[in-house]
Structures are given as structure tokens and as C-alpha cells.
Chain A
Amino acid sequence: MAETKEKSLSDEKPKPRVRPIVRLGIFLISHSFHVSVVCCTAGVLALFLLPVLAKNTYISENALMPGSASPMLSNQHVSDGNRLVKDLTNPNSKSSETGIESHKIIAQYMLDLGAEVSFHKFHPQMNQFHPLHFFSSPDSGKIQENYSCSSYGINTVGIIRAPRGDGKEAIVLVTPYNALKSGFGEALSLGIAYSVFSLLTQVTWLAKDIIWLVADSQYGEYAAVAAWLREYQTPKFSSLSAPNAEMCPDVNNLFELKGHSISGSKFSNSFRRAGTMAAALVLKVRDQNEQFEDTISIYAEASNGQMPNLDLINVVNYLAVHRQGLRVNVEKLWSLLNSSWLKSLGEIFESLAKVAKSLYPKWKFGIPATEYVEGTATLASSLYYQALGVPTGPHGAFRDYQVDAITLEISPKFSLDKVWRNDILLRGGRLIEGVIRSVNNLLEKFHQSFFLYLLTSPSKFVSVGVYMIAFALLIAPLPMVAASLYVDANSSSKRSKGDSSTPSAITDTDEHSIAIRSWRWLNSAKLVFIVHLWGAIVSLLPYFISQIPDCSPTTSFMIWVLLSILSLLTLNSVLASPLACAKATQEKEWALVKSVTISSVFIGLGLMSVINFATAEIGALLMVPMCLLAQPLKLDVRAGTLRSFCRMICNLVLGHIAFPPAAFFLLKGMLDGFGNANVGDFWMWVESLWAWNSATYLFIGMVQLPCWVLCISILFHTC
């Protein structure tokens, strides 16, 4: 019965049914305008909702158990640390020009504790633009050509071996220290580290080795840590390093002196290693502080928006707040804190939440307006630093080797009181001890908690699953609009042709014309490809410009702009113009260009969201409206309606904002004020981007700039 029924049904409906997903697709494409308006609005709104949707952090890894053990750091250890601080701040120790004396003091202190000590001599490597080194791992085989004996740094490294451990893992504690011009803060950070170190030489519960690295920060904190890490992770098996050391008598002297004075001790000339690093903590103490409380700032962003595992931040936050009574800060965009529009937005959300709660008591998603403003400021800063792709401290060097690391900056309420100093040594030391003991409990790498997240406060985060929604909503209209534009362009040209020719002629040339029409998008694709090629060339230009000696940032920037324009014109004339001219007369040519542009932007944003979400999000905020609104100005002028006028204005504004340098200056002006804006600043900024191998640089050069050029070309299209 059923079969016959089905048969009769199929007989009645001979034409194949369109599958629901295809019908949905067709519906979305045909209503692409409304869909894109709704999606973009929802995307922006979702971004502003993120602070409301943020969840409280929690310790995800069972093994960590922070704070379950009572701190063992006693006043004895604190007084040890105090002794070191006194010795280091003693003016006698600064007599030497190279600051070797203070390194000797530190090494001596470490040796007295029974730790293994070695010096690591390094030549600071200037960060240079290597076009082929993007995303590649740091290279040990880099040939250092022009170093001299006058420019080297000395890292002092102390290692405690876990008494019953297997020596396969290690925890690293880093204190940047500049022996030449150290402030009191740096000495204090050394004091804290030393007091913890002296405790750890006595305890029986160590499962991982402890490495204390006193990084010589006279060439920058990052460079010293990165040099040590490079040596640690990628050992050199060449004989090159031996003569290097001999060539510099000063360093040799240092080694020898040590060797003689403490014979039979654990001092060693060779590079010392422990196991793989489980985690690293960079400890700093700030010199001046305006705060009224002892606060501790956490810096976590590494290169390309990589973050350490959230558990590490959680552990520090938990111990600092609940055990040591320190206030924990993460970076905020301070300028956002006072903005009134954000406050009113927060109030709107708050009142909405209240209404929702009165409707259904279980809906509790609202947060107070002040909290919302703070959350947004933190979130914005989190987005900004991740998007920049430049590490916010020496911890970034560890992330390159997949080691979870953060920088802790203690800002004590400043006074020279001895009681106060002991207090900060005790609390800071106990915090470090707690974190080390917690990480010591770890059995595997940090893996339980999130790696992809944005912080809205030290104890609140937005995970990847939530923030991707905002981004996905923002870029969702792109393929739909591209498809609808393509369909429109094809159908309109078909119609225009169909009107002009007789029906008999159509049947004759139909196949041929369809074949040609369906490949028409290739012209636009070629144009888009050429512009992207140009983008790649523009991204490579700074490498050559930076080779020009004695060039101020402003002139470099000017050269860059000139060369870029020149190359664009050349490329256009050589590759694009002969065909473009022939096709330019075609109707709706701009629509096809726009369609292909949007597709390429979609691909670019999608790729970038995988590499660095924050960059993609900010890029999408700028580029998506521009791409979607772009329409030849001529058409708008011709139409003359209010709507087209509005669109024209929007286009012009967006066309200005989305230009990367303009966006940079706007952002800089908003953050720092417009007073001291300089053309050269952009060059400096770009230089820092490529120096840190930031993918943001590639994104700007190869996605955003071509997209802007294409949109501008659409705006000024002659149709």
C-alpha cells in the first residue's frame, strides 16, 4: 500500500524536489541585504555583549591544587633575601663598568645555597625583518657577524635539582636585572626570588628542577631571555662558541675568577640545563607606584596573540587574591573607563537584565554597569594586545617554545620602611612559592584549561566558543552577498542582451554567450589577484627600505608610500590595463569585482581568525562594512535619493578609516591624544610588528590593504 502510494506521489511530481538546505541558501542569497544588516548588527552587538557573557575562571586541572599547602617561606628566608638586596644596592657593587660585580654577588649567593651555577654569555641579536622567517621557529644557527666584546650580556643561572625527582622537568623563575642601572625595584625582585630559592633548596617535595635565571636586561629583557632560551632549547654543537669566549678577556676573567675562588663547588663554565620547562614565571617589581594597595599585574600575551594556559593565570590569581591579599590587575584601556557611552550601554544591559530577571527569575546574566565598563576596557586591551601580536614582556620568549609563561609585576605601595620591605618580600615570596608548588604538582603539560580566551577581569574570561560567535556573525554575510552580487551581475547582463537580440538569435548564440558570461568573473578575479600581488610586494618593500642607512622613520615611510604607488601603477599598466579597458565598458563590472573582493576578504579573514583571532576581529570590524557598502559613487550621485546619499557618506568615511595608516593614527589619537602624532610613528609601528614576526603585519599588507584598494577602485568606478 505504502509503496503504491509513494509511486503515485512520485508520478504526480516528476520534477525533483529541491533540498531544504539549497532552498535555504537561495532564500538567504535572495535576501542578502536584510541578512547582512541583521548579521552585522548582531555581530557588533555580540562583541559588546562579551563582558556580560564572561564566565568566572576556575582551576580546571585537578593536579594543581593551588593553596592546598601552607606556605613554608619564613622570616629567615626573607632576611636572606633582604641581605642580597642590601648587597646589591650597596654602591660598592656598582663600581665595575660592566656590572660584573653584581653578577658575582648573585652567583656567590646561589652557590652558598648549594645550587648549580653557571654564567651564560650572549650577544644581543637585533630584531630584523626576515621575510621568510614568519612563523618559523627561532633559529640557533643564525650567524652572528658583527658582535664585539663590548656588547655582550651575562645571564646568571642557578639550578636546584629536585632531590628525589627524575630531572626531566623544570620550572623557570626569571628576574630581569640590569647591573648597570638597576633600580631598587629590580633589586627587590631579586630579593624575592632569592628568598624563594633559598627555601626551595631545603624542601623535600620538589618533583621538578628549579631554574632561576637572572636575565641581564641591559639589552632589553626579552633579548636576554630569548638568547638564553635559544641556547637552552637548541644546543650548538659547533666549536664556534669556544673561540668567542676566548676573544673577550673580560668574560674569561670572570669565569676564571669564579673557578679559582670556589674550587670544588658546583660552579660550571659550561651551559647548564635541567628538564623540559613546565612553566615559567617572570618576576618584576615596579619602582614607582601611585596605587594605594599592593597590586600585582599579570601580563600574558605572547607573540601573535598566543596566550599561556588559563590555568596558570588562575593559579596566580587565586593565590594572590585568596592567600596573599594582593590585588590583581590585568591590562586595561584606561581611556575607555571614563567613556560615557560605554557607561550608558552598560546601564542598558543592566536594566535589560533586570527586566529579564523579573520575567523569569532564573535568568541571571546581568552585571552592574561599572563592572561592565571595566570588563569592556579589559576586554578591549586584551583584544588590542593580542591583535598587535607583540609580546607584552619577556614571557613571550617562552611561548615560542610552547612553554606557558607569564610576567608578574608587583607594584607595592612605595615606602622605604624596613617593615614594609619585609612584608612585600614575604608576600611576594609566598606567592611565588605557592605557584611553584602548585606547578610542581602538575603531572603533564598544562592542557586542561583554555589557550584561546580573552580576559575581561583577572577572574573572568570569554572562551573561544563564545567570542567566535561575534566574529562568525560579522563575516557570515560576506559569502551570501558575494553570491547574490554574482547572480545579479550575470542575470542583469543576460537581460540586457536578451532585450537587444531576437529570439532566434538567442538560441543560436546562447551556449556560446553563456560560456563567456560564466567566465566573466575571471577578469575581476585577475584584478583582485593583481592587487593582492601588489599587497605582497608592499609587504616586502620595508625589508629593502630598512637596508638604506641613516634613514629617519618619516623618510622611510615616505619612500614606502611612493614605491607602493609606483608599483601599483606599474602592475596595473603591465598586467591589468589591456583587458580591463576592454571590459570596463561592460555593465555591472563593478559588481563582479565587488563579489570577488568580498570572497577574497572572507577567505583572508577566515584564515586570519585561525592564526590570530583578535586581528581578524578588529579587521572584520573595519573591512566588513566597507566591503558590503562599497558601490560606485557615480551611481549614488546619479540616484540622488536620501538613501544613496547616506550610503555615499558612509562609503567615504569608511574609505578613510579603513586605510591602515589612517586607522592606526585614529587609534593612536584615541588612546594617546592627537597632539603628538607623527607620520614616522606608523613606520616605527610597522617596524616593531615585523621585528616580532607578527602575523598582523602580513594581514595588513596582504588582506586589508588590497581590500581597501579594491573598495576604493569600486567607489571610483566609471560605469
Chain B
Amino acid sequence: METFINPKSLFHLLLLPCLLLYSSIAYNSSPVEAAMHTNNWAVLVCTSRFWFNYRHMANTLSLYRTVKRLGIPDERIILMLADDMACNTRNKYPAQVFNNENHRLNLYGDNVEVDYRGYEVTVENFLRVLTGRHETAVPRSKRLLSDEGSHILLYMTGHGGDEFLKFQDSEELQSHDLADAVKQMKEKHRFKELLIMVDTCQAATLFNQLQSPGVLAIGSSMKGENSYSHHLDSDVGVSVVDRFTYYTLAFFERLNIYDNASLSSLFSSYNPSLLMSTAYYRKDLYKRRLEEVPVTNFFGSVMETIHTDAAYKALSRRNSGRFEDEMSLDQSVHHIERRMLIKVNDGYEIHDINPEGEEGASKCPWSTFRNKFQKAENVDSLVNYGLVAMIPLLVISTWLVQ
């Protein structure tokens, strides 16, 4: 690499990584980097209403709590609850929902953000959330704003049957509808990988029509099987959790945000005799080996975001090492603003920013860059692009120096 650079000027050498950084920021949303896993989303749906379906809401809320605990922030969780059990008059414990008869954990605590509730939970709204075709008035918090770097967890529970899932006891989501929505999502680059987890009777049939690559599906039961509730809370007077979800939660309770348990270990944790049904997973559309995929890829949030991480790391280093260059906090804020501007605008303004960029780049440790080079293969092509783009600049700057 060094061979390309003119050894006459150290200035040019310092300029290069800096420009590379900018170009990588600029390319953040380009299809070249589609394979990068950058963010996590979760869509959690409880489709059935009525008091006697308490357990479905408890299922969904338990999973909501789990994915939140494992790091997916609230603004990236779309929670759809078809009924309000907590405030149902039949609830012995007003404003509380439990998923276990020991009542140790109130699932309906302070930080529950329900995005779609009650009669808003319809097949139409569900499909709109998936495909992102909302009316303009729908707020951002109710939208699934995922991109091609997103891993999405889609969890659904309710009453279902052969290739359908009932919504609100009045509508049905068919396997065709789901497959079609997923296909649209794929075409719109709304996800990189999608894990569909369904806890309902004959859940496996819901995945029959799926075709899109990158989709992994797991259901609580095979065709012709029922999914059963786990236990009855004789105090509240209803079943509070389903078996499949109960054992899923039991698996996740052992994990923390840093654990590396693989998806295959989750899938193999289901014991048919305990579930009273056969958990089914469909992985023919999914390329990666399940043994190598940590569950936190879907149930947690992404831990390593290369570009933003690097950008912020540089900043934080500057802030912490202020004694080094005696730059004021105001200035660094100014820097951030400038950078944002660059990100939005085209490369024309790079000229103005060059000196500052140089300073910033000088603080970047070379080793970090090397790591990045090793990690991401397509950075090579990036470098090439960047070099080509730099030729005119190089010419101009040498001309200026002379």
C-alpha cells in the first residue's frame, strides 16, 4: 500500500487514512456494505384478545423484557398487544401482568412502551409495519425503520392453525401474507437477517410459503400439533405462559448481554416431551451455520458497529486526552457538526475540512486501521475507490506546495 504513496510528502500519507475514514462514512448506506450487521430490531406481536388469552400477552411481554435486557433499545422494538390484560377488570392484580405463578416479576412495569395496542393490532397494521408502507401521519416510534444491515426478530403468539394465525379473533394472517411481506421487506432492503419465532398451534405451517433468503423461522409445533400453556396461576385464575415461550425464556434467563450461546444451542434446548409439541425450525433459507450464530445476533443488540464506533472512539479519545492538543470542548463539538455536514453533502467540501481532518486522523492509532483492514474484506475495494478519488486532490496539493 505504501508503494502507491509518494514518499516525498508525509502530509499525503497522513491525509490518506483520513480520507478513507470519510469515504467509509459516506458509504455507510451503500449496497456495497449490505452484508454488514449494523443494528437490531424486534417486532413482538400478541395477536389474541380476551381475558382467557392472558398468557399470550404475558408471552409477548416476557420476550419484550428479555430482548430489552439483552440490549435492544425500546425505540427499536415494535410491541403490539391486542388487548390490555393489566387493566382488565377480571385481573386480580390491577396494572400488573405476571408470567409465573410465583408473581416475582411484574412484566408490566414502568418502562413498557406499547406501540400498537388493542384494536390497532390488525393484520393490516402488522403488514404495514413489516413492509414500512405507512401513512404519513404515523409517528417514527410506530415504524420499523430497519435497513439492509438490520437483524430483525419477529415474534408472534396467538391462536393459529394450518397456515394461518388469528388476529383479534376476527382476522387471519395467512402464511402467504407473511411470505409476501417478508419478500417485500427483502426487496426493499429492510433486513439482512430475519428470525421469525411463532408460538401458536401448528406454527410450522406458517412458514411454508417463505422464500426470501436470510430468513430463519422457528415455530412451537408441527402441523397437526397443539401448543400448550405451561401452567395455570390459580390466584389470577388463568394460564400465564405458554410452554414454548416458557422454555425459550428459561434459556435466555441463563444468558447475559455478553454471552455467545449459539442459535443451535437455543434450538436444541427445546425438549419435545416438555413442550408437548415438536419445535420446528426452518433453516434452508438461512446461509450461515447455526452453530456460529450467537443468539444475541437477534435477541440482543449489535455490539460492534465499525464506522460509528471508530468515529466516536476518535472523538472520545480526543475528549479524554484533551491535555494532548489543548482543544476546547466547543471546538470538538464544532468538529462533529462539520463531520455531519460532510456526511450529508458531497465530497466538494472536503477541501475546507482537510486541515482539521488531518488533525483528527493524526489521533487515530494506526493499529485500529489495520484491524479494520483485516476485518472487512471489501475495504480493499474502498481503498481503491478512495485512491482514485484522491488523484485530482493529490495533483492539486502538489501543485500548491510547489
The residue among B51, B87, B89, B234 with the most chain A CB atoms within 10 A of its own CB is B89
The answer to whether residues A164 and B94 also contact, given A65-B238, A69-B234 and a CB cut-off of 8 A, is yes
Contact B89 A62 (CB under 8 A): no
Output the least CB separation between A274 and chain B (Å): 14
Interface residues of A in 395-453 (CB under 8 A from B): 437, 440-441, 443
The residue among A69, A163, A165, A437 with the most chain B CB atoms within 10 A of its own CB is A69
Is B349 among interface residues, defined by CB-CB distance under 8 A?
Answer: no
Contact of B92 among A62, A68, A165, A205 (CB under 8 A): A205
Q: How far apart sit A163 and B92, CA to CA, in the bound complex (Å)?
A: 11
Contact of B51 among A162, A165, A441 (CB under 8 A): A441
Is A300 among interface residues, defined by CB-CB distance under 8 A?
Answer: no
Interface residues of B in 222-236 (CB under 8 A from A): 232, 234-236
The answer to whether residues A205 and B234 also contact, given A63-B52, A441-B51, A441-B52 and a CB cut-off of 8 A, is no
Q: For residue B237, which residue of chain A has the nearest CB? A: A69
Q: Which residues of B contact A437 (CB under 8 A)?
A: 237
Contact A443 B50 (CB under 8 A): yes
Contact of A70 among B52, B89, B234 (CB under 8 A): B234
Contact A65 B237 (CB under 8 A): yes
Is B322 among interface residues, defined by CB-CB distance under 8 A?
Answer: no
Q: For residue A440, which residue of chain B has the nearest CB? A: B90
Is A630 among interface residues, defined by CB-CB distance under 8 A?
Answer: no
Contact A205 B232 (CB under 8 A): no
Q: For residue B232, which residue of chain A has the nearest CB? A: A68
Q: For residue B88, which residue of chain A has the nearest CB? A: A207
The answer to whether residues A204 and B94 also contact, given A68-B238, A69-B237 and a CB cut-off of 8 A, is yes
Contact B237 A165 (CB under 8 A): no
Q: Which residues of A contact B238 (CB under 8 A)?
A: 65, 68
Interface residues of A in 639-691 (CB under 8 A from B): none
Q: Which residues of A contact B52 (CB under 8 A)?
A: 62-63, 65, 441
Q: How far apart sit A163 and B90, CA to CA, in the bound complex (Å)?
A: 10
Is B332 among interface residues, defined by CB-CB distance under 8 A?
Answer: no
Is A206 among interface residues, defined by CB-CB distance under 8 A?
Answer: yes
Is B125 among interface residues, defined by CB-CB distance under 8 A?
Answer: no
Output the least CB separation between A200 and chain B (Å): 13
Q: For residue A208, which residue of chain B has the nearest CB? A: B89
Q: How far apart sit A206 and B94, CA to CA, in the bound complex (Å)?
A: 12
Q: How far apart sit A272 and B350, CA to CA, in the bound complex (Å)?
A: 82
Interface residues of B in 55-104 (CB under 8 A from A): 87-94
Contact of A164 among B51, B89, B232 (CB under 8 A): B89
Is A203 among interface residues, defined by CB-CB distance under 8 A?
Answer: yes
Contact A443 B51 (CB under 8 A): yes
Q: How far apart sit A62 and B52, CA to CA, in the bound complex (Å)?
A: 7
Contact A205 B235 (CB under 8 A): no
Q: Which residues of A contact B91 (CB under 8 A)?
A: 204-205
Interface string of B209-243 (1 = CB under 8 A from A): 00000000000000000000000101111110000
Q: How far apart sit A162 and B94, CA to CA, in the bound complex (Å)?
A: 13
Contact B90 A68 (CB under 8 A): no
Q: How far apart sit A300 and B94, CA to CA, in the bound complex (Å)?
A: 36
Contact B90 A441 (CB under 8 A): yes
Output the least CB separation between B48 and chain A (Å): 11
Interface residues of B in 265-279 (CB under 8 A from A): none
Q: How far apart sit A164 and B91, CA to CA, in the bound complex (Å)?
A: 10
Contact B50 A207 (CB under 8 A): no
Contact of B89 among A63, A65, A69, A162 (CB under 8 A): A162
Q: Which residues of A contact B50 (CB under 8 A)?
A: 62-63, 443
Output the least CB separation between A248 and chain B (Å): 40
Q: Which residues of B contact A441 (CB under 8 A)?
A: 51-52, 90, 237
Q: For residue B234, which residue of chain A has the nearest CB? A: A70
Output the least CB separation between A12 and chain B (Å): 52
Q: Which residues of A contact B94 (CB under 8 A)?
A: 164, 204
Q: For residue B49, which residue of chain A has the nearest CB? A: A443
Contact B235 A69 (CB under 8 A): yes
Q: For residue A166, which residue of chain B has the nearest CB? A: B89
Q: How far apart sit A162 and B88, CA to CA, in the bound complex (Å)?
A: 12
Output the least CB separation between B240 and chain A (Å): 11
Interface residues of A in 174-223 (CB under 8 A from B): 203-207
Interface string of A138-169 (1 = CB under 8 A from B): 00000000000000000000000011111000
Contact A68 B234 (CB under 8 A): yes
Q: Which residues of A contact B90 (CB under 8 A)?
A: 205, 207, 440-441
The residue among B51, B87, B232, B238 with the most chain A CB atoms within 10 A of its own CB is B51
Q: Which residues of B contact A164 (CB under 8 A)?
A: 87, 89, 94
The answer to whether residues A207 and B234 also contact, given A63-B50, A164-B94, A443-B50 and a CB cut-off of 8 A, is no
Q: For residue A66, which residue of chain B has the nearest CB? A: B237
Q: Which residues of A contact B236 (CB under 8 A)?
A: 69
Contact of A165 among B89, B232, B234, B239 (CB under 8 A): B89
Q: Which residues of B contact A440 (CB under 8 A)?
A: 90
Output the least CB separation between B55 and chain A (Å): 12
Output the least CB separation between A250 and chain B (Å): 41
Output the least CB separation between B132 and chain A (Å): 35
Q: How far apart sit A437 and B87, CA to CA, in the bound complex (Å)?
A: 17
Q: Which residues of A contact B88 (CB under 8 A)?
A: 207
Q: How far apart sit A203 and B93, CA to CA, in the bound complex (Å)?
A: 10
Q: Which residues of B contact A207 (CB under 8 A)?
A: 88-90
Interface residues of A in 540-570 (CB under 8 A from B): none
Q: Which residues of A contact B87 (CB under 8 A)?
A: 164
Q: Which residues of B contact A165 (CB under 8 A)?
A: 89
Q: How far apart sit A68 and B54, CA to CA, in the bound complex (Å)?
A: 13
The residue among B51, B94, B235, B237 with the most chain A CB atoms within 10 A of its own CB is B237
Interface residues of A in 37-81 (CB under 8 A from B): 62-63, 65, 68-70
Q: Which residues of B contact A63 (CB under 8 A)?
A: 50-52
Q: Which residues of B contact A162 (CB under 8 A)?
A: 89
Q: How far apart sit A166 and B90, CA to CA, in the bound complex (Å)?
A: 12
Output the least CB separation between A435 and chain B (Å): 13
Contact B235 A206 (CB under 8 A): no
Interface residues of B in 154-198 (CB under 8 A from A): none
Q: How far apart sit A205 and B237, CA to CA, in the bound complex (Å)?
A: 10
Output the least CB separation between A247 and chain B (Å): 43
Output the least CB separation between B291 and chain A (Å): 41
Q: How far apart sit A331 and B336, CA to CA, in the bound complex (Å)?
A: 87
Contact A206 B89 (CB under 8 A): yes
Q: Which residues of B contact A166 (CB under 8 A)?
A: 89
Q: How far apart sit A376 and B94, CA to CA, in the bound complex (Å)?
A: 49
Output the least CB separation between B161 and chain A (Å): 15
Q: Which residues of B contact A69 (CB under 8 A)?
A: 234-237
Interface string of A691-712 (1 = CB under 8 A from B): 0000000000000000000000
Output the least CB separation between B60 and chain A (Å): 19
Q: Which residues of B contact A65 (CB under 8 A)?
A: 52, 237-238
Q: How far apart sit A162 and B92, CA to CA, in the bound complex (Å)?
A: 12
Interface residues of B in 242-266 (CB under 8 A from A): none
Q: How far apart sit A440 and B94, CA to CA, in the bound complex (Å)?
A: 16
Q: How far apart sit A607 and B234, CA to CA, in the bound complex (Å)?
A: 48
Output the least CB separation between A127 and chain B (Å): 40
Q: For residue A68, which residue of chain B has the nearest CB? A: B237
Q: How far apart sit A443 and B51, CA to CA, in the bound complex (Å)?
A: 8
Q: Which residues of B contact A443 (CB under 8 A)?
A: 50-51
Output the least CB separation between A279 and chain B (Å): 16
Q: For residue A69, which residue of chain B has the nearest CB? A: B237
5 closest A-B pairs by CB: A69-B237, A207-B89, A70-B234, A164-B89, A205-B92
Can you list 29 residue pairs at the A/B interface with Cβ under 8 Å? A62-B50, A62-B52, A63-B52, A65-B52, A68-B234, A68-B237, A68-B238, A68-B239, A70-B235, A162-B89, A163-B89, A164-B89, A164-B94, A165-B89, A166-B89, A203-B92, A204-B91, A204-B93, A204-B94, A205-B89, A205-B90, A206-B89, A207-B88, A207-B89, A437-B237, A440-B90, A441-B51, A441-B52, A443-B51
Point out residues on A near B: beta carbons under 8 Å. 62-63, 65, 68-70, 162-166, 203-207, 437, 440-441, 443
Point out residues on B near A: beta carbons under 8 Å. 50-52, 87-94, 232, 234-239
Known A-B contacts: A164-B89, A204-B92, A206-B89. Give 4 more (CB < 8 A).
Answer: A68-B237, A68-B238, A69-B237, A204-B91
